[in-house]
């Protein structure tokens, strides 16, 4: 019996998605609840699972198509999985016996062809940028699929002198390789739905808000000393690493309590204030930047905040964040320092009115008590909507964050 696979419910107010990737091919056997199509919504990537066990007989969509909730994605013939596998094995055995297995005669081109058919746009771009052979890389994604991280790791290994399954010799043996020297290439790839949404939201923030950024610098000595002193005990007790984000999240809670406008936003001709702090944490995911929310951060301790952040980072890489994870948020923290950024002017995450930007820590000469000393310093930035937040309020909020980081005791005594 044929069964249709349809677009599942995508979350509140989300009615359509784009086809990001076909995870299976026509003729493949699938199990119950096994993902067969990756869907990209405005915020997250979700997978459409098979409702039955069987064999895929037809796909009704192609990569890049826009589909609505309830639309048919594929057709599966129930109960055909075992027979299909057996028949395929039998045919392969006959081909091997008769010497007609074309893949055995030309393994390299076949592998390259198969890889090119299943690579996602992000992976294809990475392959072109780093000049690696995808057929020589072992994928770490679902069902062995290549990820962008796999390509980058392989390119790094190659650069460092490692071997990628003899990728370099294979390229050298290709007759057309010399002709490619100096070749200028272009590739047009349709923007993912998530990237389109990010672009619209960021441009909308610039168009609709009166954006301004104020800066300060922070001496990280006290926080670094606290981490060095307590990190082992913290990890042993809470089973999580003590990071910097927990300190900044709690410092932000102090600042937003004292300066409530920074934790508010404009809705129509009204200002919406919040007596809670839901912190959106900017996390890098394969398809773009996502902002899952640490809810009620004002009531959470360091361990709970660090666990939430670690969980968000893990699920962002796996593509398993949900709409609920990113719903809401009253204030955002973005840490460009993990990528090496020294200073930036972050853009607010609408409808929020402010975002805190963190940057890399570096030793710099500073004057302390009339003497020049070397201290680990970080520039911090607060971008805000000047329609709602005055300069005095923004500067005050950032100063509170600075003082709390330089003297963490303030966070314990709510000062």
Which parts of 162-285 fold into alpha helices (H)? 167-173, 193-208, 221-238, 245-258
The string of DSSP letters for 57-113 reads EEES--TT-EEETT-EEEEEEET-HHHHHHHHHHHHHHHHHHT--HHHHSHHHHHHH
Question: Could you tell me the two tokens for 412?
Answer: 């314990």
Question: Could you tell me the two tokens for 137?
Answer: 């890389």
Give me the sheet containing 279-281, strands edge to edge: 211-219, 371-385, 354-368, 331-335, 279-281, 293-294
Among this protein's residues, is 239 annotated catalytic? no
Q: Which residues of 28-48 are buried (b: 16+ CB within 10 A; e: fewer)?
A: bbbeeebbbbbbbbbbbbbbb
Among the listed residues 150, 386, 407, 414, the single catalytic one is: 386
- Rounded-to-10 torsion of CA 127, 128, 130, 134: 30
**Residues across the chain:** 415
- Rounded-to-10 torsion of CA 234, 240, 246, 247: 30
Q: Which DSSP letter does residue 330 get?
A: S
Q: Minimal CA–CA distance to 151: which of 174, 172, 121?
A: 121
Question: Could you tell me the two tokens for 202?
Answer: 């960021």
Among this protein's residues, is 390 annotated catalytic? yes
Report CA Rg, the chain. Answer: 26
Among the listed residues 65, 296, 390, 407, the single catalytic one is: 390
3-class state of residue 45 by DSSP: strand
Lookup result for tokens 């895929």? 56
> For residue 140, what are the contacts with CB-CB under 8 A and spacing of at least 6?
147, 149, 150
Q: Which DSSP letter does residue 324 get?
A: H
Catalytic center residues: 386, 390
């Amino acid at each position: 019996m044929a069964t249709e696979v349809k677009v599942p419910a995508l979350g509140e107010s989300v009615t359509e998605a784009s086809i990001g990737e076909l995870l299976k091919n026509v003729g493949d056997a699938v199990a119950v609840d096994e993902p067969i199509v990756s869907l990209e919504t405005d915020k997250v990537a979700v997978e459409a699972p098979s409702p039955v066990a069987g064999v895929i007989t037809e796909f009704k969509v192609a990569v890049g198509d826009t589909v609505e909730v309830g639309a048919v994605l594929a057709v599966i013939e129930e109960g055909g999985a075992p027979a299909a596998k057996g028949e395929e094995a039998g045919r392969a055995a006959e081909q091997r016996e008769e010497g007609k297995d074309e893949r055995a005669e030309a393994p390299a081109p076949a592998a390259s062809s198969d890889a090119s058919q299943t690579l996602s746009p992000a992976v294809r771009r990475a392959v072109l940028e780093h000049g690696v052979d995808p057929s020589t890389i072992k994928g770490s994604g679902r069902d062995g699929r290549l990820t962008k991280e796999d390509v980058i790791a392989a390119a790094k290994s190659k650069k460092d002198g490692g071997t990628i399954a003899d990728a370099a010799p294979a390229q050298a043996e290709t007759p057309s390789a010399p002709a490619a020297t100096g070749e200028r290439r272009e590739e047009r790839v349709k923007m993912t739905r998530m990237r389109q949404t990010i672009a619209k939201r960021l441009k909308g923030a610039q168009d609709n808000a009166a954006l301004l950024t104020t800066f300060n610098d922070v001496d990280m000595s006290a926080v670094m000393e606290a981490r060095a002193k307590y990190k082992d005990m913290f990890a042993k007790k809470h089973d999580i690493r003590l990071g910097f984000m927990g300190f900044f999240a709690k410092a932000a809670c102090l600042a937003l309590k004292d300066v409530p406008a920074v934790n508010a936003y404009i809705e129509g001709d009204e200002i919406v204030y919040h007596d809670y702090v839901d912190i959106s944490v900017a996390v890098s995911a394969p398809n773009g930047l996502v902002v899952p929310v640490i809810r009620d951060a004002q009531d959470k301790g360091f361990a709970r905040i660090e666990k939430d952040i670690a969980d968000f980072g893990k699920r962002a890489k796996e593509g398993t964040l949900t709409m609920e994870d990113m719903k809401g948020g009253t204030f955002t923290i973005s840490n460009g320092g993990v990528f090496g950024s020294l200073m930036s002017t972050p853009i607010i995450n609408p409808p929020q009115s402010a975002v805190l930007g963190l940057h890399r820590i570096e030793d710099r000469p500073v004057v302390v008590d009339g003497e020049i000393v070397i201290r680990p310093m970080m520039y911090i930035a607060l971008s805000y909507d000047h329609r709602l937040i005055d300069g005095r309020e923004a500067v005050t909020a950032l100063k509170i964050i600075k003082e709390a980081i330089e003297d963490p005791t303030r966070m314990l005594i709510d000062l």
